[in-house]
A = this chain, B = another copy of it.
Amino acid sequence: MITGGTIDKEYDPLTGELTFSKSHLINMLNQVRCKVRVVLEEVMLKDSLQMMDEDREEILNKCIQCQENRIIVTHGTDTVVETAQFLGHHVKNKTVVLVGAMIPYTFGASDALFNLGCAFSAVQVVHPGVYITMNGKIFHWDNVRKNKESGEFEERQQEGATSRDRK
């Protein structure tokens, strides 16, 4: 499920800005010779700083209603934790892994493909639940935050946080 984020952005040389024109997920999966059966659905192409409640509601509905039990959601890293928390409270009996990138896939020296690979393995083996894969790690939805200074994801300091559901 494609929702946007830096992973899918492009550079517009006329404005000097990063924009969306189309998702590159299909190119990414072809480039890496992925042979897992994948259904790609582009729900939106948004910078996650622009996501509103109704966007998260739409992502949730798609997760619940789709036939698949294992879902990867590409998402902007700025508010992926909020979306993960929202899904975590409402999605049952499915495995959802949210993933993004700090550098757009189109920029060459990107983390996009590595992160996507992490998501692909995780979604096939973790117990049902909602997760984020970034920086080579798998985080449970209720134990993750984005460190805005470093741009890295880490476990939250959370009373009662456990590493359940990671095996």
- Does A116 sit at the interface, judged by CB under 8 A? yes
Distance A94 CA – B61 CA, assembled complex (angstroms): 40
- Does A121 sit at the interface, judged by CB under 8 A? yes
**Contact residues in B for A149 (Cβ distance below 8 Å):** 14
**Contact residues in B for A32 (Cβ distance below 8 Å):** 111, 114-115, 136
**Contact residues in B for A36 (Cβ distance below 8 Å):** 135-137
Q: Is the CB of B124 within 8 A of A166?
A: yes
Q: Is the CB of B166 within 8 A of A135?
A: no
Q: Is the CB of B102 within 8 A of A13?
A: yes
Which residue, A102, A117, A122, A133, has most C-beta atoms of chain B within 10 A?
A117
Of B34, B103, B109, B151, which one neighbours A114 at CB under 8 angstroms?
A: B34
Distance A35 CA – B108 CA, assembled complex (angstroms): 20
Bits for A95-124, please: 1 = Cβ < 8 Å to B, else 0: 000000011101111110111111111101
Distance A110 CA – B87 CA, assembled complex (angstroms): 33
- Does A125 sit at the interface, judged by CB under 8 A? yes
Distance A20 CA – B33 CA, assembled complex (angstroms): 20
- Does A6 sit at the interface, judged by CB under 8 A? yes
Given the known inter-chain contacts A16-B18, A136-B36, please indicate yes or no for A116 contacting B119, CB distance below 8 A.
Answer: no
- Give 13 A-B pairs besides A16-B18, A122-B125 with Cβ atoms closer than 8 angstroms: A11-B107, A14-B150, A33-B151, A35-B136, A35-B137, A117-B118, A117-B119, A121-B122, A121-B133, A121-B136, A124-B166, A125-B125, A125-B126
Given the known inter-chain contacts A6-B16, A36-B136, please indicate yes or no for A117 contacting B125, CB distance below 8 A.
Answer: no
Q: Is the CB of A124 within 8 A of B109?
A: no
Q: Is the CB of B6 within 8 A of A152?
A: no
